[in-house]
């Protein structure tokens, strides 16, 4: 049913809960796992220059040690969970608006399922904080499995 599963990750506990689900599904379907780290350029625009923002958008984190380490650790976690099960893992680091990069990556790489974490926020709190997961749902035609972090711990 699934040959390629995308799991966007920022290395947070929320993302790691989604990784567990993605790897479980990938093992079940013998699917390739794509681990995608997206540096949100909107969140860093004011503290960096134009040249650095352009490099981040290209996924080039050279000279940005903390960002590169965060990206490598986040996608490396996916790899460490999947490879012992014999699964193939593709790691990708990119920059941009996360929901748009995720949707574009899914379309460009024939992804058949996106697995993402969510804090399970609702109502006014969700509207005020925004949600990469919700924006991704609206930006892609690929099925998206949303893993509720609050319930993943139960």
pLDDT digits (tens, 9 = 90+) for 108-152: 999 999 999 886 555 544 444 448 888 899 999 999 999 987 654
Its pTM stands at 0.84
Helix (H, G, I), strand (E, B) or coil at 12: coil
CATH architecture of 4-152: 3-Layer(aba) Sandwich (3.40)
pLDDT range class, residue 90, cuts 50, 70, 90: very high
Give the Cα separation of 42 and 125 in Å (integer): 20
User: In the predicted model, what is the mean pLDDT of residues 39-52?
Assistant: 66
- At residue 116, the pLDDT reads 94
Give the Cα separation of 154 and 152 in Å (integer): 6
Closest CA to 79 of 60, 93, 100, 66: 93
The domain spans of the chain are 4-152
Contact predicate 7/44, CB 8 Å: no
Query: Where is pLDDT greater, at 121 or 69?
Result: 69
């Amino acid at each position: 049913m699934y040959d390629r599963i995308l799991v966007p990750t920022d290395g947070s506990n929320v993302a790691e809960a989604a990784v567990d689900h993605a790897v479980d599904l990938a093992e079940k379907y013998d699917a390739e796992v794509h681990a995608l780290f997206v540096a949100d350029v909107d969140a860093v625009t004011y503290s960096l220059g134009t040249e650095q923002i352009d490099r981040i958008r290209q996924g080039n984190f050279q000279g940005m040690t903390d960002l590169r380490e965060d990206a490598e650790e986040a996608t490396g976690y996916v790899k460490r969970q999947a490879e012992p099960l014999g699964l193939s893992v593709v790691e990708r680091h990119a920059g941009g608006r996360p929901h748009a990069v995720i949707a574009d990556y899914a379309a460009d790489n024939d992804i058949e399922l996106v697995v993402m974490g969510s804090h399970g926020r609702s109502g006014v709190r969700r509207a005020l904080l925004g949600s990469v997961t919700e924006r991704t749902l609206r930006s892609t035609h690929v099925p998206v499995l949303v893993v509720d972090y609050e319930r993943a711990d139960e």
